[in-house]
Structures are given as C-alpha cells and as structure tokens.
Amino acid sequence: MARTPTALLSPADQERRRALRTMKGVALGALLLMALLFVVAFALQSTYPGMAYVRAFAEGGMVGALADWFAVTALFRHPLGIPIPHTAIIPNRKDEIGRTLGEFVETNFLSGEIVRTKLEATHIAERLGAWLRTPAHAERVATEGAAMAAGVLRALSDDDVREVIEDLAREHLIEPEWGPPAGAWLTRVIGSGAHHGAVDLAVDSILGWLEVNYAAFEGLVSRRLPAWLPRMAARLVDDTVYREAVTFMLAMQADPQHSARIAIDDYLTRLADNLQHDPETIGKLEDAKSRIFDSPRVRELAGEAWNTAKTGLLKALEDPASGLRVRAKAALEEVGERLTKDPSLQHRVDEWVTNAAVFLVDRYRHDIASIITETVERWDPDETTEKIELMVGRDLQYIRLNGTFVGALAGLVIFTIAHALLG
C-alpha cells in the first residue's frame, strides 16, 4: 500500500504516524525479546531444568504476539503480502464501512433526544446575549445581514415576486382563517389527553413488531464485525441491540411519564400555541385583507408596493448610517442585553432553538449522515486504510503488546499444570 508522503499529512496526522511507528517498534521489540528468551531457555533447559518454564513462557509469548500481529495486520492489509482470505478487511470493505459509519452516526449522534439534551445544557441564549451586546459584534451582524438581504432582493424578479405575493395572499388570506381554530382544536386534544391513544398504539405496534421480528436483528451488527471474532461474541452483540430496543419500548409503554412521551406532549403543546394569535391582531389583519382584496387594483397596488419597498430597502441596507442599519444595530445590542438578564426570555429562546434543531435533525439526519457515506465512497482504498490506521493503529499495537504477555502467561500456566499433572 502506497504511503502518503509525510509532508502532505496534517501536523496531527504526522504526530499520529510517529506514535504508530513507536508502538509498532515496542510491539516488535516484545516479540524479539520473547524469541531471545526462547532461544536461551531452549539451549539451557537440559542443563537447568527450571529453564523449561522460561521456555514455555517465551513460547506462549511468541504465539500470542504472532497471532495478534496477524489479526491487527489483517485489518489493514494482507499479512506478508499474501492474499489470505478475510484479510485486508478495510480496503476491501471500504464502502461498507462508510455506510456502517454513516448509519452509526445517524443512529447514535443525530438523534433528537441527544441534540435536545446537549442544547438544553448549553445555555445558548445567555451566551448569544453576551456576544451580541458587544457593539462591535452587533455591528458585524447588522452589516452581514444587510449584505445578505440586499443580495437576495437584487436576485428576485419583480414580476415573479408580485405573482407570488398575490397567489399567497389569495390562498392564505382570503380563505377563512384557520390558524386560531386549528390551534384551539389541538389545545383541546392535548388537554383531554386524546392524543395518548395514538402514542400508545404506535408503541404497541412497534413492540409487536419487535416480538415477532427477532430475526431482523440477526447479523444486523455482527456481519460488519471482523470474521475472525468468535460467533458467540458476534451473536452477543446482536442480542444486546435487540434487548436494548425492546427494553426502551417496554419502558415507554409502562411509564406514562416517560421522557419520550413528555417530549411528544411538549412538542404538541408548542404547536398549538404557535397556531393561535392575539384576537386583536387577527381582527386587524382580517379588516386589512378585506379592504385590499375587495379593490380591483390589487395587482397594481401589490406591484407598486413591492417596487417602492424594494428601492427603499436597498438604499437603507447599503447605507451604514441609515436609520434601518442604526436601529438594527441598536436592536441587536438590546436583544443581547435582554438575553443576558431576562431568564424567561432565555428560556423561550433556548426552547425555540432546541426545538428547531431537533426538528431539523429528525427530518434531515439521513441526508446529513449520507455525507459520511458518500465521502468514504470517494476515498481511495489505500487512503482510507491509512486514515483509519493513523486514527486507531497506535491503540491496536497495544493489543499486540498485551497479546504477547497474555500468551506468555498462558504458556507458562499451561506448561506448569501439564508438568504438575503429567510429570
């Protein structure tokens, strides 16, 4: 396998390569030490019978060292260049490893509950407030936001915008109001607990499927493990995954206050609140809607309003001294000040950010995880092997080292027992 020149590696990878070479030298040194002990003990055991124990110790150490060397090497390449079956596992199964890694990240990291737990402990609003109340930071946000808004405005087609405005207005404003009734209906559903039946049905359905589909978990993880692992160990992994899934669903079924159920209730409650509006505001919007859309000049007025608004906005966005920019900067500083001092506002912002992040993760986690899979698929097999070896190879050398001494002790114990029993 061709090695990447050291000069092309990052400083961190260069350090990992040095550490890997050092540990390989240590593991090889342990093997050579056992070989030297074996030679000496073998030559002297006829003169000094006690050296037979040293010979057994060294012999077991060599066997353990060679066995673990083969196992570790087989992950990354063919031992001694010989194409033995089930060796060079990583380069031969690169794409499958990428898919497995993507699935692992999606399942264990891109989870709504994991993201929620992390964000709830981060205190995002307080940190954001401390950053925003600095004038330089507020100015920077206002400047960047103005540049982005101006770019979007210039990219829009006036005719398309007018059509979109009219279509959206007719679809969502002329029709009878539906936000408050929908929010009120959902509030009543949540208040009566009627939605719990749907949650119970979903939990029962999943548990029923798990009970009759144990076979679906056979090989789910174990088939991705190295072939040299014992079948018992591989099956234990599959059994553990299945038991954990069943345990989680049983806990959710038995506990009305389970965290997953509470999360569902919280989400539905927030959805109901968002669907409802202030009655006075609703009335004003309804009056304005009626006045505007009862006029035959709707399209003309929409076009004039858009052109005027666009011209005024572009001018204000491009002028650092404009009232819009100045007020935006002041507003950002004020928001930062409030975020650092108002616990209730902090709570609302943290909740909103957390819910938005959980929604995005739950909806797009597969697409996010696919980046890993597609990236690994584009890697060269040799490059993939080297990247993985640099990350975990040093730790794997400890396996070789441990195998040397465990094998030595095993050889000594076996020889001692055999000598005691058989003479």
Q: How confident is the model at residue 58 (pLDDT cuts 50, 70, 90)?
A: very high
Phi/psi region, residue 10 (left: phi>0; alpha: psi -120 to 50; beta: rest), is: beta
Q: How many CB atoms lie within 10 A of CB 211?
A: 10
The answer to whether residues 45 and 55 touch, using CB atoms and an 8 Å cutoff, is yes
Q: For residue 62, is pLDDT > 90?
A: yes
pLDDT digits (tens, 9 = 90+) for 304-325: 766 777 788 888 888 888 888 8
pLDDT of residue 7: 47
User: Residue for token digits 């144990």?
Assistant: 214
CA distance 220 to 218: 5
Q: Which of 3-17, 32-46, 337-351 has the lowest mean pLDDT?
A: 3-17
User: Residue for token digits 């174990």?
Assistant: 222
Tokens in use for 322?
A: 């404009």
Q: For residue 402, is pLDDT > 90?
A: no
pLDDT of residue 46: 86
Q: What is the dihedral of CA 16, 21, 23, 25, to 10 degrees?
A: -170
To the nearest whole number, what is the mean pLDDT of the chain? 78
111 Cβ contact partners less than 8 Å away, ≥ 6 residues apart:
361, 365
Rg (CA), the chain: 34
User: Residue for token digits 């993201």?
Assistant: 115
**∠ CA 68-78-235, rounded to 5°:** 55
Choose between 283 and 114: higher pLDDT. 114
The answer to whether residues 271 and 185 touch, using CB atoms and an 8 Å cutoff, is no
pLDDT of residue 413: 93
pLDDT digits (tens, 9 = 90+) for 242-299: 777 778 888 888 888 888 888 878 877 766 665 565 555 455 445 655 665 656 555 5
pLDDT of residue 285: 42
166 Cβ contact partners less than 8 Å away, ≥ 6 residues apart:
298, 299, 302
pLDDT of residue 225: 55
Q: Which residues of 277-286 are buried (b: 16+ CB within 10 A; e: fewer)?
A: eeeeeeeeee
Q: How many CB atoms lie within 10 A of CB 224?
A: 17
Start-to-end CA distance of the chain, whole Å, equals: 50
Task: List Cα–Cα distances, 298 to 66, 153, 340, in angstroms.
Answer: 85, 22, 45
pLDDT of residue 332: 86
Choose between 217 and 61: higher pLDDT. 61
Tokens in use for 226?
A: 């190295």
Q: How confident is the model at residue 420 (pLDDT cuts 50, 70, 90)?
A: confident
pLDDT of residue 303: 64
Q: How confident is the model at residue 409 (pLDDT cuts 50, 70, 90)?
A: very high
- C-alpha count within 13 angstroms, C-beta hemisphere, residue 95: 2
Q: How confident is the model at residue 178 (pLDDT cuts 50, 70, 90)?
A: very low
Tokens in use for 243?
A: 């038991």
pLDDT of residue 38: 92
CA distance 413 to 53: 9
262 Cβ contact partners less than 8 Å away, ≥ 6 residues apart:
none
User: Residue for token digits 């899979």?
Assistant: 373
CA distance 226 to 12: 28
Please compute the mean of the pLDDT values over residues 34-62 and round it to a whole number: 91
CA distance 375 to 9: 18
Q: For residue 229, is pLDDT > 70?
A: no
Q: What whole-number percentage of the chain has pLDDT above 70? A: 76
CA distance 225 to 237: 10
CA distance 395 to 73: 13
Q: How confident is the model at residue 153 (pLDDT cuts 50, 70, 90)?
A: confident
51-76 and 11-44 helices, crossing angle to 10°: 150
Phi/psi region, residue 380 (left: phi>0; alpha: psi -120 to 50; beta: rest), is: beta
Tokens in use for 45?
A: 């055991």
- pTM of the entire structure? 0.41
